[in-house]
Amino acid sequence: MNTKNKNILKMVGILFVGVLLGWLVFGGSDAPKSEDEHSHVEGMETIWTCSMHPQIQMKEPGQCPLCGMDLIPLESNDSAIDPNALQMTEDAMKLANVQTMVVGGSKETNKKLALNGKVQIDERKLYTQSSHIPGRIEKLYINFTGEKVNRGQTLAMVYSPELVTAQEELLQAYRIKETQPELFEAAKQKLNNWKIGESTINKIISSNKPIQQFPITADVSGIITAKKVDLGDYVSQGMPIYEIADLSSLWVLFDVYESDMPWVKVGNKINYTIQSLPGESFEGVVTFIDPLINPQTRVASARVEVKNPENKLKPEMFASGVVNNNVSTSTSKDIVIPKSAVMWTGERSVVYIKSIVSNKVNFKLREVILGASLGDAYVIKEGLSIGEEIVVNGTFTVDAASQLAGKPSMMNPEGGKAVTGHEGMNMGDDDMKRP
């Protein structure tokens, strides 16, 4: 073989080796590149949604659980979006009537508490009139309850054999007073113990004969609320015969249920009306709250003291009152939100927080700790901060959408599998196959 042919073969060999190396280099680099691109595409999870209900977001294709339309993929999946948050468009919020509010600082909030009660006798002005003389009731001058008496007025006349004997001893001691003055003083003291005054004792001595009947006089002025004896009854010393009440001032006792006790304090003003006095209103101040709860009714009494100079108020009248209680001050850190914003499961209380991420509206579940109830609002002790935005209307709609999308919801705080509609279709097919 000549030199020319050797050069040709050498060039062909070099060309073959170059082609082979080029295929190995460029062909080998294409495979990893394709593999990398494939893995990158697989790493981007496709989210499927409904064109009519954008709040529906599924991880798998299927049908919209609300309208039955086929789900379509979202145009983009922003990695900044919280996977536990629910996305909704402004149009979807309007369609679902979802309304929100920004949580503000504590403001002047009043708690109106309605109370029912009764007018009662002031226990400090209720007096039991007793007999200071043992004996038999010979006359009764007060024969029925409700009659007014004045202090010193005679209520009854009593015949007392013991008192007659004591008077005879007094007369005998008076005759030997000069020789035995101690005996005379002892006889007088015995009568004094029965509330026989000095003037009556002098009258007995001057007449030189015992008095057969002695009066029982009223110790206080007031109204007879109970009569405990009848004509001819025998009474012992200290036995109650009447109950007398001074009605110039009364109590209005309002029932405070156990759950309402934090809202009623001593010093609170109560505006109240009396059922039997239509058109008139009264105002009082709570002066005392019963420290004991009635075990049967589960209520305690809040006392309001009221003057009754014209006797317009009478015991046992029904009263209806309202307590206006300021539950927050400018320095309080408590937050007050509407009750419509709170969902309560019995164990937990939750709200939905609105946020804007990548120009998209997100709603996320959050647990809160409730404070006192204010009628149509709650005091929030923990879980919210001033400036956050919460759902106040359509809360259950947002929660239902979260549950369908597999997001954390009121009944499933950990989230779950999204409802795509296939489960229902399969269930129906199985049911049709059953005989």
DSSP notation for 280-324: -EEEEEEEEE-SS--TTT-EEEEEEEEE-TT----TT-EEEEEEE
Q: How many residues does the chain have?
A: 435
Q: Is 58 helix (H, G, I), strand (E, B) or coil?
A: strand
Handedness of CA 56, 58, 62, 65 (dihedral sign): negative
pLDDT 10s digits, 376-416: 788 888 889 888 999 999 899 898 888 888 888 888 887 76
Burial annotation 69-78 (CB, 10 A radius, 16+ → b, else e): eebeeeeeee
Q: What is the 3-class SS of 117-180, one letter each residue?
A: EEEEECHHHEEEEECCCCEEEEEECCCCCCCEECCCCEEEEEECHHHHHHHHHHHHHHHCCCCC
Q: How far is residue 217's CA from residue 197's CA, in Å, rounded to a whole number?
A: 12
Backbone angles phi, psi at 135, to 5 degrees: 160, -160
Q: Is 29 helix (H, G, I), strand (E, B) or coil?
A: helix
Q: How far is residue 133's CA from residue 243's CA, in Å, rounded to a whole number?
A: 17
Bridge partners (DSSP) listed for residue 100 = 391
pLDDT 10s digits, 93-151: 888 889 999 987 655 566 778 999 999 999 999 999 999 889 999 999 999 999 999 99
Q: How far is residue 331's CA from residue 337's CA, in Å, rounded to a whole number?
A: 17
Copy the structure tokens of residue 69: 């339309």
For tokens 């309001």, the residue is 304
User: For each of the chain's 435 residues, which pLDDT tens digit applies?
Assistant: 555 555 555 555 555 544 444 444 344 444 444 444 444 444 456 778 776 666 677 778 888 887 777 887 765 545 556 778 888 888 888 888 899 999 876 555 667 789 999 999 999 999 999 998 899 999 999 999 999 999 999 999 999 998 899 989 899 998 888 888 899 889 888 888 888 888 888 888 888 889 899 889 999 999 999 999 999 999 998 899 999 999 999 999 999 998 888 889 999 999 999 999 999 999 999 999 999 999 998 999 999 999 998 889 999 999 999 998 765 544 456 688 888 899 988 788 999 999 888 778 899 999 999 887 777 788 888 889 888 999 999 899 898 888 888 888 888 887 766 665 545 444 444 443 444
The set of residues, in sequence order, having a beta carbon less than 8 Å from that of 95 and lying 6+ positions away, is none
For tokens 């007014």, the residue is 148
The set of residues, in sequence order, having a beta carbon less than 8 Å from that of 233 and lying 6+ positions away, is 136, 137
pLDDT 10s digits, 177-186: 888 889 988 9
- The beta strands (E) that lie in 205-248 are given as 213-217, 222-227, 234-235, 240-245
